[in-house]
Amino acid sequence: MTKRKILFLGESYRADAITWMNGLREFGNFEISIWELQTPNDSFSNRILRSLEFLFAPFSIRKKIHKEKPDMVIAERSTSYGFLAAISGIQPTAIAQQGKTDLWPEDSMSIPFKKILQNYAFKKATLIHAWGPIMAEHMKNSNVDMHKVLILPKGIDLEKFENKNNSDSNKTKAIVTRSLLTEYRHEAILQAFFILNQKGIDFSLSIVGDGNKLEYLKDLAKKLQIEDKVTFTGRIPNSKLPELLQQSNIYISMPITEGVSASLFEAMACGCYPIVSDIPGNQNWIRHHENGQLITIDDSEMLADEILWAFENPTIRNKVVLDNRHFVEKHANYNINMKIIANKYHELIDFYQKRQNKPLRN
């Protein structure tokens, strides 16, 4: 396959971004360079500096484009890096909406401004990635030309996330693999296990990842007197995650908003029974008491009841686990989906190079 150059605009440390770039290298023979904002978004003063950096970003990006001459630009988040890709002057350009809308937080005063950036990015992009139906629905409602939209998740590596579950079926061994941030509602999860503990239900709970709520959640586990049954692993290499999932029998995720969760696919692939929040991004994949359970946001009592229901119905749970593995193999296979995406990029590059009468690279 012809060697092509891609410039990626986005946060290169994120697991989703790594999956995207690695898939393009593996299945598309792409050489990828990266441009990303350098100022962290972790304080008010840094947010101001980051905004200033964003303001001058087009000059820095165009300088990089002039030097490296990429064949294509791709970017994540339609309201930030996606907008920068749209004004880069390069075609083709592919942008990916990361969340349900990318217009977040919903009560932010900057939403009207973000809508302007997003609409411009949608208009100028050659290809728009909707990693799942919930994203495509927002795009349709935003009057996007849906001929430009590719509705397909990147998928997960099924050779890495194997169904080799070896958890103890006689004990609830739950795992949470979402960032320790407010929107993922770890407090509600801890409260649910407090309720189970009060009922004398034996369990272990692994909370994987890092975030600004880590110390607060550790303190809450102590306050609820369940700290001896809760393990906070901190951030771990992605290579270690399959083993932790395979040692668990229930996966829990309680976000208040969701686009397409690779974490959910990973858990389903590894034989974990999914219990997730009842929001549109999860409803696309999970049907209550059919292939998992959907929980009202912040309802710890309901979550505790449904964890107990899942534990008390092992026959149903075991059937769900097998069915979910087949579902992921069919719809979220990284080897298949990333080949489709990589081939699409090559088609777009060929089209634009022919239109501009550029010689095709060998």
Q: What count of other Cβ atoms lies within 10 Å of the Cβ of residue 250?
A: 24
Judge whether residue 362 has pLDDT over 60: no
Which pLDDT value is given to residue 351?
Answer: 94
The closest of 283, 263, 273, 281 to 323, measured between CA atoms, is: 273
- Mean per-residue pLDDT, 24-35: 97
Q: What mean pLDDT do residues 295-313 have?
A: 96
pLDDT in tens, 134-167: 999 999 999 999 999 999 999 999 999 998 887 7
- Please give the average per-residue pLDDT across 73-80, as a whole number: 96
Q: What is the mean pLDDT of residues 302-320?
A: 94
Q: What is the pLDDT of residue 184?
A: 96
pLDDT of residue 359: 60
> Residue written as tokens 């100028």?
124
Cα 88 to its chain centre, rounded Å, is 25
Residues of the chain with pLDDT > 70, as a percent, come to 98
pLDDT the model gives residue 99: 84
Is 127 within 8 Å of 94 (Cβ atoms)? Answer: yes
pLDDT tens digits for 175-230? Answer: 999 999 999 999 999 999 999 999 999 999 999 999 999 999 999 999 999 999 99
In this model, does residue 361 exceed pLDDT 90? no
Q: 3-state class of 195 per DSSP?
A: helix
d(CA 268, CA 265) in angstroms, rounded, equals: 5
- Structure tokens belonging to residue 328: 């992921």
Instruction: Give percent of the chain with pLDDT exceeding 90.
Output: 85
Which residues of 142-249 form beta strands (DSSP E)?
149-151, 172-176, 203-208, 230-234
Longest Cα pair distance anywhere in the chain, in angstroms? 73
Quote the strand ranges of the chain, DSSP E: 4-9, 30-35, 72-76, 93-97, 127-130, 149-151, 172-176, 203-208, 230-234, 250-253, 273-277, 293-295
More confident residue, 359 or 134: 134
Q: Which helix (H) or strand (E) holds 354?
A: helix 334-355
Q: From CA 253, how far away is CA 201, in angstroms rounded?
A: 20
- Note the pLDDT of residue 107: 79
pLDDT band at 73 (very low <50, low <70, confident <90, very high): very high
Overall average pLDDT of the 260-268 stretch:
94
Strand partners, 73: 7, 93
Give me the residue label for tokens 């102590």: 222
pTM comes to 0.88
Supply the pLDDT for residue 77: 94
